[in-house]
Amino acid sequence: MDEVIRSLTEAYGPSGFEDPVRSLLRSMVAPLADEVRITPLGSLVAVRRGTGNGRRMMLAAHMDEIGVMVTYVDEKGFLRFTPIGGVSPLTCVGARVRFENGVLGVIGVEKREDPHKVPSFEQLYIDVGATGREDCPVRVGDAAVFERPFVAQGRRLVAKAMDDRIGCAVLVETLTRLGPTPHEVYFVFSVQEETTLSGARTAAYGIEPDMAIAVDVTRTGDTPESQPMAVELGKGPAIKVQDAGMIAHPAVREWLMRAAETAGIPYQMEVLERGTTDASAVQLVRAGIPSGCLSIPCRYIHTPSEMVDREDVEGAVRLLLQALEGSSQESVTRNASR
């Protein structure tokens, strides 16, 4: 999967500007799906038909990433900017960013009274090498993403935009390997999760699935002096119990746990105190959709260098395959109605 992950993480696609990464994903899934379509807001939906006696399942991974947007160009050609999604000034100074037109910028910081304090966004700027407004190659409203290459180092994979291109890679690989299934499965690569959750919400309204699973990253509690959390890299994918936006439906949670145990896949239970996923929006669509989340443990989320473990990624694919290929209509229906 490394080359798939590399191409996805290095692709451009901040929230609201997902066209390049969507085109890349479409080229990957079109030969594998029975139907491919794009929603009015821009989410990509790939459908795999089942044997006709199962349920309508939705798997969602968001293809957008965090980034920055130009708000002002000064007379010397320096750019002021605002974050797209959960960007921290702490990780910005000295970082490189890339605009859709290929222009590279470096984030600098003004002189401050107290250099030991974390700067505010108002104190940061982007230098694209311009000498004034007239020769500046970007304009107000243009968006950029952090520029970092994908690196595989043993079992650890490091890149920008693992949140959530790694979830997209899991869905692509699941679609690639998926054999006969009783279920009609909708693979949704959603837009604008980092800002509004609108892509998955509107896609789910059109699909009206019987059950939904978001595949996203979650933070870990295994780094020095980290906030305690019972999720670690390398211990398997995490099955969400609760986050700041939702409590996972017990039927979905138990379905994933049963699949992992049947296939002998190590897994962890996740309680995330801050942050949420597409599942929190999907579960509120129409009369309510039983929803849950399968999470990839990830260190340094919302920084230019996010880290995951290859075995956790592989475990997530195997777990989804077991769930989709091994569950009967009766078991899923019975559990979802509890």
pLDDT in tens, 129-176: 999 999 999 999 999 999 999 999 999 999 999 999 999 999 999 999
| Percent share of the chain, pLDDT over 90 | 93
pLDDT value at 329 more than 90: no
Domains assigned to the chain: 2-65+160-336 (3.40.630.10), 67-146 (2.40.30.40)
Residue-level pLDDT at 338: 47
Q: What is the mean pLDDT of the segment spanning 226-248?
A: 96
For 241, phi and psi rounded to 5 degrees? -100, -45
Buried b (16+ CB within 10 A) or exposed e, 297-308: bbbbbbbbbbbb
Residue-level pLDDT at 51: 87
Kindly list the strands in the beta sheet with 291-297, ordered across the sheet, starting from the edge strand earlier in the chain: 35-38, 44-48, 184-190, 56-62, 211-218, 291-297, 238-242, 268-271
Task: Return the higher-pLDDT residue of 328 and 288.
Answer: 288
pLDDT digits (tens, 9 = 90+) for 74-114: 999 999 999 999 999 999 999 999 999 999 999 999 998 89
The residues annotated with a catalytic role in the active site are 193
Mean per-residue pLDDT of the chain: 95
Residue-level pLDDT at 44: 98
C-alpha 261/C-alpha 266 separation (Å) is: 8
Q: What is the mean pLDDT of the segment spanning 272-279?
A: 96
How, if at all, do strands 184-190 and 56-62 pair? parallel
pLDDT value at 20 more than 60: yes
Band (330; pLDDT cuts 50, 70, 90): very low
